[in-house]
Amino acid sequence: MRIAIPVILSISVCSIANAAFAHASLTRSVPPDGEFLNASPTEFALGFSEGLEPVALNGEHVGGTGDSELSASPSSPIKPGSYTIKWVVLSKDGHKTSGTRSFTVTP
């Protein structure tokens, strides 16, 4: 019985520590990374593993306040070419996460 208690306590402490250091990680993107599209995308979306702080793009609210997804639509069709979406978000736990997603619009 004495051996079981220290093992249970160490597992509990490790589980709490892992939860405390979790960051918002990207779980999905539209268009998907590396995608070749035959037409201009009608929406850009990024989904995350946890809620985010409020986010604005060019003054327009695109997500946050607990939301775990950001989305925006292009104001006009995107011309053929290769594009990279660069993103930086602040998760509810206060940690900044960033990354890129690329896609190509074919003629």
Residues 90 and 68: beta-carbon distance below 8 Å: no
What CA–CA distance (Å, rounded) separates 80 from 55?
A: 28
For residue 27 the two structure tokens come to 């779980």
Question: Domain-by-domain residue ranges, the chain?
Answer: 23-105
Task: Give pLDDT tens digits for 37-66.
Answer: 999 999 999 999 988 887 666 556 665 556
Mean pLDDT across 66-70 = 78
Instruction: Identify the DSSP state of 94.
Output: S
| pLDDT at residue 71 greater than cutoff 80 | yes
| Polymer length in residues for the chain | 107
pTM of the model: 0.69
Identify the CATH assignment for 23-105 out of 2.40.50.100, 3.90.190.20, 2.60.40.1220, 3.40.50.620: 2.60.40.1220
Determine the 3-state secondary structure of 50 from DSSP: coil
Q: What is the mean pLDDT of residues 73-83?
A: 93
> Which residues are 102's β-sheet partners?
84
What CA–CA distance (Å, rounded) separates 46 from 29? 5
